[in-house]
Amino acid sequence: MTRISRKVCIIGDFAVGKTSTVTRFVNNVFSEKYLTTVGVKIDTKDLELVDGRSLRMVIWDIAGSDRFSSAEFAYMRGAQGYLLVVDGTRKETLASALALRAAVEERYGALPFVLLLNKYDLVDEWSVSDAEIEALNKQGVLVLCTSAMTGKCVEKAFRDLAKSLTGVSAA
Amino acid sequence: MSELEKLREILFAKEKQTLENIRERTETPSTRTRDVAEVLPGAIGLSHRKDPQLVKALREPVRESFEYAVDKNPRAFADALFPVIGPAIRKSIAESMKALVQSMNNTMEYSLSPKGFKWRIEASRAGIPLGEYILRKTLVYRIEQVYLINRERGLMVGHVQNESAVAQDADAVSAMFTAIQDFVSDSFSPDHRQLLETADIGEFTVWVLHGPYSMMACVIRGEPPRGVRDELAEILERINLQYGEALEDFTGDSDSVEGVEDLLGECLLLEQLASGEDSKKSAISPPLLIVLLLVGAALAWWAYSSFQERQRLQAFRQAVADTPGLVATELASDGRVINMRGLADPLADDLEQVMQRAGVGEVAVAADMAPFQSLDAEIILRRARQGLKPPAGVEFSMRGDTLVASGRAGAEWREQFLSRAPLIAGVASADASATFVRDEELLRQARMALQPPAGVVLGVEDQILSIAGTAPQRWIDAVPEGLESVDSFADIDDSALVPSELAALDRIVSQLDGRTFYFASGASLLDSRNTALQSAAIQLQEGFALAELIGRTLDVQIMGFADGVGSLESNREVMRLRAEALKRGFVAAGIEADRISTAIAALPDNPVVDESMRKAELRLELRPAVPTP
Ligand SMILES: Nc1nc2c(ncn2[C@@H]2O[C@H](COP(=O)(O)OP(=O)(O)OP(=O)(O)O)[C@@H](O)[C@H]2O)c(=O)[nH]1
Ligand SMILES: [Mg+2]
């Protein structure tokens, strides 16, 4: 049987909810507790594709920062797509996310990615305007408002990424 | 154009065109290049075949261009050389290892420790040099899992594991390996190029082998010998040869590397083979175990039986030494048979008895014994007994070289003994003084023991006891018992000893036999108060009692007589009546009726009247005891 695997990374500023998003996607759980990721944490998750094949996503959850050090760059090497995570309640994390994107593209070329505006459950503290999202959409960036806490759009984010990685929709 | 020109034109137009073409071809670089290119391979081949000049000429330019190329793009060369260079290096290392192993062999040659000895046996059994065996022996390992990982992405290309290995998310582990690899390179290598090759995690060792586009991570339990790494590297090279491109372009689709896990599996196979061999050597293989057990048992048996054999031989030797009349000059055991040479007196115990005394059980003894006369005291005694035939109660013993007889023996035998004993081998003189006691002493002992009643006379002469006189039967019966406690007599003479009961009975018989009781003419009645009859009856009673005491029978008969007056018949009748009457008289006096029989006397044909015949008579006879059936 054909086995397909893809390396995807999840990057973004610290505490934006990268680990929470992966944990929600992989184990479908959420914790309020903040345990910062050191280095990289790796998880895998299988997705069934509509063509019957199964895709194993090898997810590299990379320690958050606003700028990549050489180690983080090394972890990004060979990634076939990534999730760019922003904390929707902290506007500055959007800027650092975009900076990371630029750095990755400079180093490894354009890769499929999905931008996640996380913590969408905290609507009161939401600080990203619709206009900004619109602007990103215009650039062709796929933007999703997600919440690792409620699980909103988390699965969709990974499925959308899977589709851009394989050209086939997840079943 | 001149005429000549025209003529030339007419005559040589074709040739001129040809010349023009040739000129153009020789002068235009591009056409020349094309021409040379056409003939160059052939020309080089031809030239190379003709003489070595070409190789010499090309050597320098080729070298330079090679250097240039390597300089420009070393990676491509490294990648290209990878499948070639690995085996080359390994081969050279293997050669030097062989030398090392050789020298270890030499060292071990002189190590005579039991372990070294054991290893030597096992190595020769396994058919490998001892040194190499020791290397393997001291390093026990097992490859649990092998990951083939695309280095670029950290994606797992293939994964195999032992059945015993704990199943893990191979994709995650592969990614993690890569991440660690990156971390190590980034953190500890100045040029970010050094690669992690070995990691120890608890009881596991992880070996990472690097190919051009992939790495092979082997999780090994225990301590693998270094040589295994070469074997693993060889497998990785084979994988690279076969899947080089697929590995380079690996994007996570297993299709492109189909079959790679079979190759990876060789790592486990190789491991299992190696570790299998190892365990076979560390734990003894069943056939060897059986052989060892048999050998052990045989050795134990041999040791035990040779110990037993020695014990047996020793016991037998001792028993022979303790046996009078046997002298062993040679005694040895060959395991099954005890061989003995020596001397044996014909009177010595036979070997069966000796073996029994030695307690050696069933053992074959081959004896070659020469006969001789032993001067051992026991054998001399046996010889004496055989030759002198002592009567019962006479014992022999040796005092120095004197044969001593003791016990009750007759004078005749004693004389024989004293004269013949010194003729027996080993006997110098004979002593029979212990075979007789002085007559006076014997008499004293007899008197003490028998307490003879008055009327008995005891006498001892020449060891012969004589008992004479009368004594109650009871005493006579007790004589043999009484003499038991007395020293032996040569003989006992009791011919003159009479039971006193018999004497009394004889007296009674002599007094009563023929006693006559008279009747009146024609009468057959007796006065019942007849005193003579009364006293006779008392004597008869006494006689019966005495007879009974001494076991005799006293027959009593009464015979009737008649005077001859009258008819024969009446005479007979009177006789009968008279006998009956006397019997009645005795019965009335207390005699049992069936103790007395009656009879009548014979009458002459012409009877003469005789008054003295009016009588009846007692007839007594003492008969020996009738043996009771
Ligand atoms: N309310 C809310 N809180 C969230 C959400 N996602 C994450 N958090 C919280 O945010 C904190 C940080 O989350 P993490 O997932 O550890 O963030 P991270 O991006 O992995 O952080 P680093 O590993 O340090 O880079 C935790 O306390 C989470 O509980 C969300 O969607 N909603
Ligand atoms: Mg984290």
What does chain B come to in residues? 629
Cβ contact A36:A64 at 8 Å: yes
Question: Helix axis angle, B473-483 relative to B439-450, nearest 10°?
Answer: 130
Check if the beta carbon of residue A84 is closer than 8 Å to that of residue A12. Answer: yes
CATH class held by domain B513-624: alpha beta
**Contact yes or no for B153/A79 (Cβ under 8 A):** yes
Amino acid in position B605: D
Residues with C-beta less than 6 Å from any ligand 1 atom: A 14-20, 31-37, 63-64, 118-119, 121-122, 147-149
Tokens of B357: 């005394």
Residue tagged 């012409």 (tokens): B606
Is B155–A78 a contact, with Cβ atoms under 8 angstroms apart?
yes
CATH number for B139-284 (one of 3.40.50.1820, 3.90.440.10, 2.40.50.100, 3.30.450.70): it is 3.30.450.70
Measured CA to CA, the distance from residue A137 to residue A146 in angstroms comes to 16
Spans of all domains in chain B:
1-45, 139-284, 290-371, 377-436, 439-501, 513-624
CATH number of B377-436: 3.30.1340.30
User: Which pLDDT value is given to residue B202?
Assistant: 76
10-residue block means of pLDDT along chain B (629 residues)? 80 83 82 81 79 77 79 72 64 61 53 68 76 60 88 90 77 87 78 79 85 90 80 90 89 90 83 43 57 77 78 84 87 80 88 81 81 88 87 84 81 82 87 75 83 86 84 86 74 84 88 85 69 87 87 88 82 87 87 88 76 86 68
Which ligand is located closest to the Cα atom of residue A85?
A: 1
Could you give the strand order of the β-sheet that contains B326-333, starting from the edge strand earlier in sequence? B326-333, B337-344, B364-371
pLDDT band for A99, please (50, 70, 90 cuts): very high
Q: Helix, strand, or coil here: B215?
A: strand
Question: Of all protein residues, whose CA lies closest to atom 26 belonging to ligand 1?
Answer: A34
Distance B387 CA to ligand 2 centre (A): 124
- Tell me which DSSP letter residue B487 carries: P
Distance from the Cα of B73 to chain A's closest Cα (Å) equals 21
Asked if B529 and B592 touch (Cβ cutoff 8 Å), the reply is: no
In tens, the pLDDT along A74-97 reads 889 999 999 999 999 999 999 999
pLDDT of the residue at A90: 95
Atom of ligand 1 nearest to the CA of A65: 25
B186 to chain A: which residues are within 8 Å by CB? 70-71, 74
CB B512 within 8 A of CB B620: yes
Tokens in use for B584? 């009645």
d(CA B245, CA B304): 72
Question: How far is A75 from B406, CA to CA, in rounded Å?
Answer: 124
Contact B175 A78 (CB under 8 A): no
- How many contacts (CB atoms, under 8 Å) link A and B? 70
Q: Report yes or no: B534 and B589 within 8 Å, Cβ to Cβ.
A: yes
Quick one: which of A47, A26, A7 has its CA closest to B178?
A7
Please give, one letter per residue, the 3-state secondary structure of B115-174: HHHHHHHHHHHHCCCHHHHHHHHHCCEEEEEEEEEECCCCCEEEEEECCCCCCCCHHHHH
The span from the CA of B139 to the CA of B281, in Å, is 12
Question: Which chain A residues are within 8 Å of B185, Cβ to Cβ?
Answer: 74
Confirm or reject contact between A155 and chain B (CB < 8 A): no
Q: How many residues does chain A have?
A: 171
Quote the distance between the C-alpha of residue B194 and its chain's center: 71
Using CA coordinates, name the residue in chain A closest to B182: A74
CA distances from B141 to B103, B144, B220, B275, B368 (A): 25, 9, 7, 6, 68
Q: What is the pLDDT of residue B224?
A: 76
Name the E strands within B472-530.
491-499, 516-518
Give whole-number Cα distances, A16 to A63, A64, B102, B259, B497, in Å: 11, 8, 64, 43, 151
What are the structure tokens assigned to B576, written together?
A: 């009968």
CA atoms within 13 A on the CB side of B390: 23
With CB atoms and an 8 Å threshold, state whether B182 touches A74. yes
Distance A149 CA to ligand 1 centre (A): 9
**Is the entire prediction scored with pTM above 0.80?**
no
CB atoms within 10 A of CB A103: 16
Cβ–Cβ < 8 Å for A89, A125: yes
Interface test with A, best of B148, B149, B155, B260 (most A CBs within 10 A): B155
Best residue for ligand 1 mutational test, from A19, A152, A155 (most atoms within 8 Å of Cβ): A19
The answer to whether the CB atoms of A77 and B254 lie below 8 A apart is no
Which residues touch B407 (CB under 8 Å, ≥6 apart)?
A: B390, B391, B393, B394, B395, B434, B435, B488
Q: Do B155 and A58 touch (CB under 8 A)?
A: yes
- Does domain B439-501 sit in CATH 3.30.160? no
- Number of alpha carbons in the 13 Å side-chain half-sphere of residue B251: 5
CATH topology of domain A3-166: Rossmann fold (3.40.50)
